[in-house]
């Protein structure tokens, strides 16, 4: 029997996304991301904006703070910036893509929350399996 995957969700994150039943979620304060994996919080950081409006609001409020958050993410070996629901490349999305590319981040735009959590779960399971093998 395999151990359940335990996702760490930042304690300040207000949205609880839909995870598959085989994933357990624990809450803890994460430095600059919303999600990580138990035992790998020093190397895995996923920053998720649950809507394009959420990301744009973050950029509008304080672009410098947004840039700092992106730079802080680069300290993590496995780092991903996710914007849920982006379907066209707006000026804000292009800005984030350039930031991500310049910072060595992976940026992606799943269509909905289920797509985001499914993608994160797949990657988290892969990372956990690689850690077990080493």
Give me the sheet containing 106-108, strands edge to edge. Answer: 23-28, 5-10, 35-37, 44-49, 78-83, 106-108
Question: Rounded to whole angstroms, how far apart are CA atoms 50 and 89?
Answer: 16
Q: What is the pLDDT of residues 75-121, one digit of tens each?
A: 898 888 887 775 555 666 666 666 666 666 666 767 678 778 888 88
Question: Rounded to whole angstroms, how far apart are CA atoms 134 and 108?
Answer: 28
| pLDDT given for residue 97 in this prediction | 67
Query: For the chain, how many helices (H) and strands (E)?
Result: 4, 6
User: What CATH number is given for 5-133 in this structure?
Assistant: 3.40.50.10130
State pTM to two decimals.
Answer: 0.80
Q: Where are the domains of the chain?
A: 5-133
Q: Token pair for residue 76?
A: 């993590």
| pLDDT given for residue 85 in this prediction | 72
Tell me the pLDDT band of 9, cut-offs 50, 70 and 90: very high
Q: What is the pLDDT of residues 25-80, one digit of tens each?
A: 999 999 989 999 999 999 999 988 888 778 778 878 888 888 888 888 888 988 88
| pLDDT given for residue 123 in this prediction | 83
């Amino acid at each position: 029997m395999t151990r359940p995957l335990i996702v760490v969700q930042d304690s300040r994150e207000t949205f609880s996304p839909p995870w598959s039943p085989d994933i357990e979620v624990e809450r803890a304060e994460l430095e600059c991301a919303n999600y990580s994996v138990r035992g790998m919080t020093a190397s895995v950081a996923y920053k998720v904006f649950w809507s394009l409006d959420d990301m744009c609001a973050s950029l509008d409020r304080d672009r410098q703070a947004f840039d700092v958050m992106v730079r802080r993410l680069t300290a993590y070996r496995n780092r991903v910036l996710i914007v849920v629901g982006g379907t066209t490349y707006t000026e804000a999305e292009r800005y984030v893509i350039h930031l991500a590319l310049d910072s060595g981040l992976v940026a992606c735009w799943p269509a909905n929350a289920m797509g985001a959590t499914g993608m994160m779960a797949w990657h988290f399971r892969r990372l956990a399996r690689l850690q077990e093998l080493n």
